[in-house]
Amino acid sequence: MKNLKMKTVKALLLSTLLLYSCKGKEYRYEIQGKVYVPTSGTNPMHDAKWFTDTISFDGDTIYYFNSDGSQVRITPPYILIDHILDK
């Protein structure tokens, strides 16, 4: 249980870092979804956004690798926006 909480906190921190560090760069993909924060009381699901230039799929799960080699996995439900289509 402690390991799950630590992973969740890391994912939330990473999501927050990505959100605030994306101001100067345009990324190809924007993924909008939810993250589970078990310490949030009665509403543990919170909105989240991820930004990346590359994605892969494992069934209906999106995943990509950060520059440090860590893997981010995003399970449904989510909204995938391809910004290359915006241009």
Residue ranges of the domains in the chain?
A: 2-86
The pTM for the full model equals 0.66
Instruction: Please tell me the predicted confidence (pLDDT) of residue 16.
Output: 63
Burial code (b: 16+ CB inside 10 Å, e: under 16) for 41-75 equals eeeeeeebbbbbeebeeeeeebebeeeeeeebebe
Question: Can you give the pLDDT at residue 73?
Answer: 95
What averages of pLDDT result for each successive group of 10 residues across the chain (87 residues)?
65 62 77 91 92 96 94 95 80
Average pLDDT, the chain: 84
Closest by CA to 55, choosing from 65, 43, 47, 46, is 65
pLDDT at residue 63 in the model: 96
